[in-house]
Amino acid sequence: MAGVSTISHTAPSLPLEGRVAIVTGASRGIGRAIALHLASLGAKLVLNYANSSTQADLLADEINSSSPSPHPQRAIAVKADVSDPAQVKSLFDQAEQAFGAEPHILVNSAGVIDPKYPTIANTTVEDFDSIFSVNTRGAFLCCREAANRLKRGGGGRIILISSSMVGGLKPGFGAYAASKAAVETMVRILAKELKGTGITANCVAPGPIATDMFFAGKGEEQVRKVIEECPLSRLGETQDVAPLVGFLATDGGEWVNGQIIRVNGGYV
DSSP state of 209: B
Task: Label the pairing between strands 199-206 and 260-263.
Answer: parallel
* Dihedral pair phi/psi, residue 31, rounded to 5°: -60, -40
Query: How many residues are given for the chain?
Result: 268
Q: What positions carry a catalytic annotation?
A: 176
Note whether 109 and 163 are within 8 A (CB): no
User: Do 265 and 243 form a contact (C-beta atoms < 8 A)?
Assistant: no
Phi, psi of 26, rounded to the nearest 5 degrees: -90, -5
Residue in 18, 140, 146 with CA at minimum distance from that of residue 92: 146
Give the relative orientation of helices 138-149 and 174-193 as an angle to the nearest 10 degrees.
Answer: 10
Coil, helix or strand at residue 236: strand
In sign, the C-alpha dihedral spanning 234, 237, 239, 245 is: positive
d(CA 161, CA 140): 12
Edge to edge, what strands does the sheet with 105-108 contain? 75-79, 44-49, 20-24, 105-108, 156-161, 199-206, 260-263
Whole-angstrom Cα distance, residue 162 to residue 203? Answer: 6
